[in-house]
Amino acid sequence: MDEITKGLFSFIEQSPTAFHAVENARTALEEAGYQPLLESGEWKLEPGQGYYVTRNQSSLVAFRVPGTIRCVMAGAAHTDSPCLKLKDHMELRLEGYTKLDAEKYGGMLMGPWLDRPLSVAGRLMTAGSRGVESKLVNIDRDLMVIPSLAIHMDRTVNDGKKWDAQTDLSPLLGKGEPELLRLLAEEAGVRKEDIVSFDLFVYNRDRGSTLGAEEEFILCPRLDDLQCVYGLLQGFLGAEPKEGTMPLLALFDNEEIGSETRQGAMSTFLQDALRRIFRSRGLGEDDYLRCLARSLMVSADNAHGVHPNHPEKAALTNRPKLGEGVVLKYGARYATDGPSAAIFRTILSRAGVPIQTYYNHSNVPGGGTLGNISITQASVHTVDVGLAQLAMHSSCETAGRADTEYLIRAMRAVYSSALEETGPETFALS
C-alpha cells in the first residue's frame, strides 16, 4: 500500500467524529509549527507565522500570515459524515437485551449500517470545581451491532425494504443492563456523575482497504468528506506560498444537516476569522474587500462517479471515473462559474493534475455542498470540486486510490499561487 493511502486510512480511522477530525488536523498543524488562537482571546499575528483557531471543537480555520496580504487562496471541506446520533437516556431494555435509541444524522443510506462492527465516539461535557470541561472520547473496540431481521421472518425483504429508523436502526449494546455513559466515563477517566451533557455518535469500525485487480480502488468509511479533509490538509502543509498570498484552510462541521449552526459554513466563522486577521495586521475594510476580489476558494466535497451497475443515473456527457483526477462540479447548487473554473483549471494544468467534470443528470438532482453557502459570508471566487466515489452516504464508500494524491497536488498548487485582478473578470496568475 502506498504511503498516501496509508496516511489517509490512518487519518480516517483516528477520526470517528468531526471532533476527532479537527483534533487530528490540529495536531498535524502544531507539529508543523502553527500556533493556536482562541476566539475569545486577543490576536497578535506575526508575518511568516502560521496560526489556527477552532470553533465547537468540530470546525477549524488555519492560515499563514504573509508580509502583505494581497489575496487569499483558500480550501474548505467538511468534517462530518452521515451516521447515527445518540439521544439522551439512550438505553432501551427489551427481552434481556439493551439497545440504544438513536436518530439519523444526515442523509444516510440505512441498509449498509446493519451487521457491521460499530462503536461510539464524540465528546462528554463534564462539570467540576473549575466549571465545565470537554472530553473527547472513543470506545476503540467493536462494541455494538445492528442485526438484520432474518429472511425467514421477512420473506418480502428482497422485494424492496422501507426502512424505519426508529425500529430498524437501534444498535445492540449487550445483555442485561449495561450503561453506556459509565463505559464512556471510564474511557475518559471521569466519573459518570460528572457528565452533564454529551454529543455522541455511532460509527462504523470497518478499516480502510485497497481492492480491485490492480488495487486501484479504496473502500473505507467516511470518505465523504474526510478524503477531501486529508487532501486539503496535506496540500496546505506542503505548500510554498508566494509573498502576498495568505493560504487558508477551513474545515466546517454540520454540512450533512444544512450548515446552519454556529460552526457550519453558514455561520460567520470564516468571516470572523478573516476580519480579525486583517484588523490584527492594521488593515481596514477597504483592504479586506479589495483582497476578497482577488481571492479564490476551493470547496472540496466528494462527487458521484459513474456507477457500473447504474450508468443511466449519470449525466450523458460529464461522467467522472474513479481514479482519473479531481472533479470540477457544475450546476445550480454549486458555486463554480466561468472565471473561477478558468482560474482553477489553469492552476491544475500548470501542476499537471488531471481534471474531470461533473453535472447532475437532468432528471436526477444531486445534493448541495458548502461552496454556495460559504460565499454568503466571504464573497470570493469559488469552485466546487471533489473526488469521484461510489455509494455516497453509505457506512462504507468506494473511491479511486490515485485521487487522494491528485487532490494533494492540486491544493499544494492552489496554496502556492498568487492571484491579481487586472480587469473585469481578468486575472494575472503566478
**What was the pLDDT predicted at 377?**
85
User: What confidence tens digit (pLDDT) does each residue in 193-202 have?
Assistant: 999 999 999 9
pLDDT band at 66 (very low <50, low <70, confident <90, very high): very high
Q: Is the pLDDT at 107 greater than 80, yes or no?
A: yes
pLDDT band at 425 (very low <50, low <70, confident <90, very high): confident
User: What confidence tens digit (pLDDT) does each residue in 31-45 have?
Assistant: 999 999 999 999 999
pLDDT averaged over every residue in the chain: 95
Q: Name the phi and psi angles at 131, rounded to 5.
A: 125, -135
In percent, how much of the chain has pLDDT > 90?
Answer: 90
**What was the pLDDT predicted at 388?**
98
Q: Is the pLDDT at 293 greater than 80, yes or no?
A: yes
Three-state secondary structure along 268-302? CHHHHHHHHHHHHCCCCHHHHHHHHHCCEEEEECC
**What was the pLDDT predicted at 125?**
97
User: What confidence tens digit (pLDDT) does each residue in 231-268 have?
Assistant: 999 999 999 988 999 999 999 999 999 999 999 999 99
**What was the pLDDT predicted at 256?**
94
Identity at 120, one-letter amino acid code: V
Q: Is the pLDDT at 53 greater than 80, yes or no?
A: yes
The rounded distance, in Å, linking the Cα atoms of 143 and 342 is: 49
Q: What is the mean pLDDT of residues 114-143?
A: 95
The pTM score is 0.96
**What was the pLDDT predicted at 423?**
87
Q: Which residue from 28, 73, 21, 7 is spatially nearest to 252, judged by alpha carbons? A: 21
**What was the pLDDT predicted at 410?**
98
The rounded distance, in Å, linking the Cα atoms of 85 and 106 is: 10
User: Cell 500500500, residue?
Assistant: 1
Query: What structural domains does the chain harbor?
Result: 3-81+221-429 (3.40.630.10), 84-204 (2.30.250.10)
Rg (CA), the chain: 22
pLDDT band at 160 (very low <50, low <70, confident <90, very high): confident
**What was the pLDDT predicted at 264?**
93
The rounded distance, in Å, linking the Cα atoms of 23 and 127 is: 22
Q: What is the mean pLDDT of residues 361-369?
A: 84
Q: Which residues, in sequence order, are bridge partners of residue 247? A: 73
Specify the pairing of strand 296-300 against strand 381-386: parallel
The rounded distance, in Å, linking the Cα atoms of 92 and 103 is: 14
The rounded distance, in Å, linking the Cα atoms of 164 and 60 is: 35
**What was the pLDDT predicted at 374?**
85
Cell numbers for 26: 490540529
User: What confidence tens digit (pLDDT) does each residue in 168-177 have?
Assistant: 999 999 998 9
**What was the pLDDT predicted at 246?**
97
